[in-house]
Chain A
Amino acid sequence: MKKLFDQERVVGAALMVFSITALVILLLIMLFILDGGLPLFNKVSVSDFLLGDKWVPAKGLFGASQFIVAALLVTFGAILLSVPLGISCAVFLAEIAPGWAKRIVRPAIELLAGIPSIIYGVFALIIIVSLVRVTFNVATGETILAASIVLAIMILPIIISISQDSIESVPRLYKEGSYALGATDWQTIHRVLVPAAGPGIVAGIILAMGRAIGETMAVVLVIGNVEKMPAGLLDPGETLTSAILLEMGEAVVKSTHYNALFCLGLVPFILVLFMSVLSSRLTTKNKARFA
């Protein structure tokens, strides 16, 4: 017999309300960012925004291409630096490391992941910036490269932990098959394990790219913040996120400038959502392959 007042159903209904919160917040974010950004396109065309390279709010010029290029350069630089190191460390943890080494390296990586981005920024502001200045003998170390280096450090934990997971999920059988043919550890690692873990590793790299594109604090402190198209890694620049951070304070609410800054946020937002979907797709596909 069903009771009129069923406690279980009441709790279930309450929890359902809780559980749609994440979806509601996500939709609200989209709504508010679009609402804040889209009015820009009444004044500036989409192509002028994406492709234009003049950003002069006072004159109504909102070409964001230099921010986009800087963000992409910084991200690719970071990936280039951190992927070889990250995969190596993941292989080390999954295959080579004796117990005592794992007990040191793993907590170190967790800690690396837990350090706030602003602290990385302050560290990079002095150490990495001077390192770049001295090494490459440039006028200022506040460059795209400096931002890439600090981002590379920040995304290492993501790359390592996801790569390690996917290497460890490669069936033992493959490994044994390779050893039984007289392969060395290294041959087994680079010819069988890493290729078999490939899709999982790529998923980790994509996730890390998303993190790098969206990062603000560590970048803004070291990239120089010059609103000009960067010509190379040793140029200063300004990324999408740092532009938002630096200009929001001076933008009049609901002005075109304000709208344009929301559009700057829209770019990494869309990219990152896309990457996160792609990455989780790859992960599920990878798991299914070995099931």
Chain B
Amino acid sequence: MLSKNADRLAKIWLWLSALVIILVLLSVLGYVFINGIGAISVSFLLDMPQNNWREGGIYPAIVGSLIVVFVALAFAAPVGVGTAMYLTEFRTEGLVTRIIRTSSDALNAVPSIVFGLFGLSLFVFYLGDYTGGPSLLSAGLTLGFMILPTIIRTSEVAMRNVPYAERMESFGMGASKLQTIRNIVLPGAVPGIATGLILSIGRAVGETAPIIFMVALNPTIPKSLFGSGNTLTTQLYYLSMEGISMKVAFGTALTLMLVILTLNAITRVFKKRLSRNLRRC
């Protein structure tokens, strides 16, 4: 039976393909863990770098990453959720929604290095007097632009998943549109929106190219939003590219990886709750 054998072989190949992918993931994770675990400790996370990063900790990069992510989210979360709300609750499908959605998709496709060039020319050269030039604020805003499409898309899906009937019920009881949004749509969409926000935090924390021209390898704690600082990713780039200290580079990589794994685990919890909610309806 030729077709029987072909079937069996093909299935072995399909199983293997999944196995290969698992192995690739495990080797990336394993590589980062094995090399980074020796470097990482509480003091590594909370100490200042010493001796041009060859010793000491990575505290400034952690603070820098927190700041840029905070700035990015402070911009993109309200704008993104607001856009999603406008698309789902205030506009019927048509030219306007199509334009908004297409620009959001296009923005999502822009290569990260192009965001870097854009951030450099807009925030550093054009608006430098207001942003402090190559500052954490400039970097954070650039990241905010970059994660905006993700937030729009995920929030829109979350709001659309709130059943139409529930809105109608609320209108039927005499509630206004705003009351309906506040009492029905937003509570129902919160798990989905939160998942999208965490996803975007993960992206913002992990991106390098968009902010590489705005942050330098800086061993001091950033003094303000308008000051310069560095982040986990940019530090990792400089340390490994210039071969300054692979030990600290791996420690930084593991720290970054742990952040990503934690965010991933949180979204998993949210997703579980989300599917439970959906089943209840």
Contact = CB atoms under 8 A, between A and B. Distances in A.
The answer to A–B direct touch (Cβ < 8 A) is yes
Contacts of A114: 199, 202, 206, 260, 263-264
Nearest to B28: A123
Among B15, B79, B83, B113, max chain A CB count under 10 A is at: B113
A89 B116 CA distance: 34
B201 to A, nearest CB: 11
Among B21, B79, B149, max chain A CB count under 10 A is at: B21
B68 to A, nearest CB: 14
A21 B14 contact: no
Interface stretch (B55-63, B159-167, B221-229, B249-257): B249-257
A1 interface: no
Given A115-B206, A216-B111, A280-B105, A85 B14 contact: no
A88 interface: yes
Among B117, B152, B212, max chain A CB count under 10 A is at: B117
A147 to B, nearest CB: 15
Majority DSSP secondary structure for residues of A touching B: helix
B22 A119 contact: no
B32 to A, nearest CB: 6
Contact of A127 (B27, B79, B107, B253): B27
A259 B125 CA distance: 14
A96 B16 CA distance: 12
Interface stretch (A38-46, A105-113, A226-234): A105-113
A35 B152 contact: no
**Chain A interface residue bracket vs B:** 35 or more
A153 B26 CA distance: 12
A249 B209 CA distance: 13
A107 B82 contact: no
B7 A35 contact: no
A76 interface: no
A253 B125 contact: yes
Interface in B132-151: 145, 148-149
Given A108-B22, A123-B31, A25 B145 contact: yes
Nearest to A254: B125
A269 B118 CA distance: 12
Nearest to B9: A186
A91 B102 CA distance: 30
A78 B76 CA distance: 32
A110 to B, nearest CB: 7
Contacts of A70: none
Contacts of B31: 123, 126-127
Contacts of A15: 82-83, 85-86, 90
Among B78, B110, B149, B237, max chain A CB count under 10 A is at: B110
Contacts of B90: 12, 15-16
Q: Which 10 pairs between the two chains have the least Cβ-Cβ distance?
A: A214-B111, A116-B206, A18-B82, A88-B17, A276-B109, A15-B86, A186-B10, A19-B83, A184-B7, A23-B103
Given A88-B17, A241-B113, 7 more contacts: A21-B83, A22-B103, A91-B14, A114-B202, A117-B206, A119-B236, A121-B237
